[in-house]
Amino acid sequence: MVTFGVGWACIAEIEQVATATGQLKPKATVKEIQAPISGVVAQVLVEEGDAVQPGDLLMRFDSGSVTAELQGSLLVRRSLVEENRLYRNVIDSGDAAGLVQAIARLNLPPDVQQLTRNRQAVMEENQFYQAELAGTEEGDP
C-alpha cells in the first residue's frame, strides 16, 4: 500500500493551498489612470504589461453618444437663448403689439407662446386696476 501511495504521488499532480499574509508589490511604478470623461471604449491600443510614455494614446472612446448629447445640449441652449430674448423684449417694452411680433419672430413652442400671452394679459389687467384705483383715490374727498 505504501508503494502504491508513493507511486501515485510521483505520477499524479497534487494541488497545494497555502495561506499567507503580506503585500503584493509591482516590480516597477504603477499609476492608476482615469479618463476625464465617461463613455464607451471603442478601442484599446495597449496590452497589459506594455510600457507607455506620457502622452501615449491608450484607448479611443466611441464618440457617437457624446456627439448626440452635444447636439441635444446645443438645441436646448438655442431654445433657452430665444426664450431669454423674448422675456427681455417683454420686460423692456410694455407694448402688446411688440410682444406679439416678438413671439412670432422667435419660433417658440406653442405652450411658451401661450404662457407669454397670458402673462401679458394679466399685466394689462393689473395696469387697468391700478389706474382704476388711482382714479378712485384721486376722486375721493
CB atoms within 10 A of CB 103: 19
Query: C-alpha cell of 107?
Result: 419660433
Give the pLDDT score at 139: 47
The label of the residue with cell 471604449 reads 41
For residue 23, which phi and psi values (nearest 5 degrees)? -130, 140
Give the pLDDT score at 74: 93
Query: C-alpha cell of 92?
Result: 423692456
The beta strands (E) that lie in 15-138 are given as 41-44, 59-61
Q: Name every residue whose Cβ is closer than 8 Å to that of residue 109 and which is 6 or more positions away in sequence.
A: 79
What is the full per-residue pLDDT of the chain (141 aa) written as tens digits?
777 777 766 777 767 766 777 776 777 777 777 777 777 788 888 888 888 888 888 888 887 877 888 899 999 898 888 878 777 776 676 666 666 666 667 777 777 777 777 877 888 888 889 888 887 655 454
Cα(5)–Cα(48) distance, rounded to whole angstroms?
A: 43
Residue pair 59/39 in contact by the 8 Å Cβ criterion: no
pTM, 2 dp: 0.37
